[in-house]
Structure 1
Amino acid sequence: MPLVSSTIETVPGRVALQWSLPAPADRVWWGLTDPEALPQWMGSVTSGKFAVGSVVTVEHAKNYSCISEVLDCEPQALLAMTWKFPDEPLSYLRIELTADENSTRLALTHDALGDEAAGYLPGWQTHLLYLEGLLLGRPRPMADFWQVYGKLDDAEAVQT
């Protein structure tokens, strides 16, 4: 697994992951922001674009969307935005990319999750597994997402 490290800081409700992806930064950026790529690992963009000040809506399931304001956007390097589902508090997502020789290191920090942090760690691990599959040309079936999430969530529970 390309997971380099992961932590949950429960007091501030932060999830942090570092992931080594087997692709150059421009390809990872495509996976993170392209409306054709996103449905294969995250959800469908229904409005907005990834540019500072834009509001992006991503439908994760039928009639269940996350609305984000893009706070910072440096192609192939940084994406920072708010994160708001209808039934959760506003939180903040930051993804930084660093090119390595044959791969890209992705550092993800998701802040202000409160009690939701424990569920977000296996969620982000699952999403990044799916992103990795897409980048390798072997997309995972989205129909299996919650089964994969469940296995990662169970593994996390055993470790804590």
Structure 2
Amino acid sequence: MNVPVSRLWWGLTDPNALPQWLGTLTNGTFISGGEVTIRHAENYSCTSQILECEPEQLLSMTWKFPDEALSKLQIKLAQRDESASLLLIHDGLGKVATSYLPGWHTHLLYLEDLLLGHPRSMSEFWSTYEELREI
């Protein structure tokens, strides 16, 4: 992605950026040992313990929705020349992994467009998800 890693980190952790690609931060901050709650829909939030937080390098956290088993999310960032790269690893999903693949793909499309200055409308999120799920 042709943005600096600092902008990518902003997109991943800033309370104003999160609702434009993932969900609304309703509690907490992204610091090692902290906890965050992100609302993805009305009455449906994910609570995460921040395991590691190295700004502009690494974000590792648990991932827990009320109706799912606890899993672990790790996001590694790197700067290569003028472009930032992101590696997302989501472990422990079990049977729900197949639904998470198009979900993360959709979220990351929204993140990319936000970082490039042309955010997508969240009202189109589920139709985009359905298109990717069919691929």
Shared fold per TM-score greater than 0.5: yes
Instruction: Decide which of 28, 48, 57 is 2:28's aligned counterpart.
Output: 48
Match of 1:33 in 2: 13
Instruction: Decide which of 118, 127, 140 is 2:98's aligned counterpart.
Output: 118
| Distance in 2 between residues matched to 1:23 and 1:69, nearest whole Å | 28
Is the CA contact 1:22–1:132 (under 8 Å) kept in the aligned structure 2?
no
**SS of equivalent to 2:100:** helix
**SS of equivalent to 2:29:** coil
Identity of aligned residues (%): 58
* AA at the equivalent of 1:132: E
* AA at the equivalent of 2:4: P
**SS of equivalent to 1:88:** coil
Q: TM-score, length-normalised on structure 1?
A: 0.83
The number of residue pairs the alignment matches comes to: 135
Instruction: Decide which of 123, 142, 145 is 2:125's aligned counterpart.
Output: 145
Is the CA contact 1:38–1:45 (under 8 Å) kept in the aligned structure 2?
yes
Mapped pair 1:104 → 2:84: yes
Mapped pair 1:85 → 2:79: no
Q: Deviations over 1:49-80 (max 9, x none)?
A: 00011110000001100000000000000000
Higher relative CO (CA 8 A, sep ≥ 6), structure 1 or 2? Answer: 1
| Distance in 1 between residues matched to 2:125 and 2:57, nearest whole Å | 27
Q: TM-score, length-normalised on structure 2?
A: 0.99
**SS of equivalent to 1:65:** strand
Q: Deviations over 1:62-102 (max 9, x none)?
A: 11000000000000000000000001000000000010112
Q: C-alpha displacement at 1:22, in angstroms? A: 2.1
Match of 2:108 in 1: 128
Identify the range of structure 1 (100-109 vs 27-36) with the bigger mean alpha-carbon deviation.
Answer: 100-109
Is the CA contact 1:22–1:135 (under 8 Å) kept in the aligned structure 2?
no
| Distance in 2 between residues matched to 1:22 and 1:148, nearest whole Å | 23
Q: Where in structure 2 are there 5+ consecutive unaligned residues?
A: none
Q: Where in structure 1 are there 5+ consecutive unaligned residues?
A: 1-20, 156-160
| Distance in 2 between residues matched to 1:65 and 1:35, nearest whole Å | 15
| Distance in 2 between residues matched to 1:75 and 1:141, nearest whole Å | 28
**SS of equivalent to 1:50:** coil
* AA at the equivalent of 2:71: S
